[in-house]
Amino acid sequence: MCANCGFPLAQEHWTDAGARSGFERLRGRLLRAQLLAPVLAAYGLGVYDDGTGPSFTLSTRTGSHVLVGDLGELWTQAERLAGRAIDPLDQRFAADEGQPG
């Protein structure tokens, strides 16, 4: 159990595999938060990870915050906060360069 957030000790999510050390794992987390920021900004969401909590913190423009345990949970919570589905293959991400999207 994490003393700060009350999260139970997380089981390793499959996306956490492949790191050689805690440092690399942290680096992967921070890099993912950086990549997620523009993706989620398009849905009006902010994402924050300073490496101390269990994983990401999602926030809305009206000030709601949600802690998520891993990337599996992140998408469920992000969709709930955004109020719509987040599909990596929709026009926003998968549109042809020439097409509006």
Partner 1 sequence: MSGPHGRLRLAVLAGFLGAGKSTWLRHALHQGGFGGALVLVNEAASASVDDVLLGRATGLEVLDGGCACCAGRGALVASLRRICDRRLRGAPIARLVLETSGLADPAAITQAIAEDPVLQHHILVEETIVIVDALHGLAQLREEPLSRRQIAAADRIVVSKLDGAGRPAVARLVATLCATNPAARLAGSIMGSEVPLPESPGVAPEVWVDEARSSEAGAPASPGEPRPPPIAEALDPGGPDSWPALSLWLSALIHARGDDIVRIKGVVRTPRGPLLLQSVRKVVQAPEILPEGPQTEQARLVVIGRGFTRAQLLRSLQRFAGG
93 binds partner 1 (CB under 8 A): yes
Q: 9: exposed, middle or buried (C-beta count within 10 Å: 0-12, 13-18, 19+)?
A: exposed
83 and 75 in contact (C-beta within 8 Å)?
A: no
Q: Which of 18, 44, 45, 86 is nearest to 56 (CA)?
A: 45
Report 9-68 residues binding partner 1 (CB under 8 A): 11-12, 14-15, 17-20, 24, 27-28, 31-32, 34-36, 38-39
72 binds partner 1 (CB under 8 A): yes
Residues that bind partner 1 (CB under 8 A): 11-12, 14-15, 17-20, 24, 27-28, 31-32, 34-36, 38-39, 71-72, 74-76, 85-89, 93-96
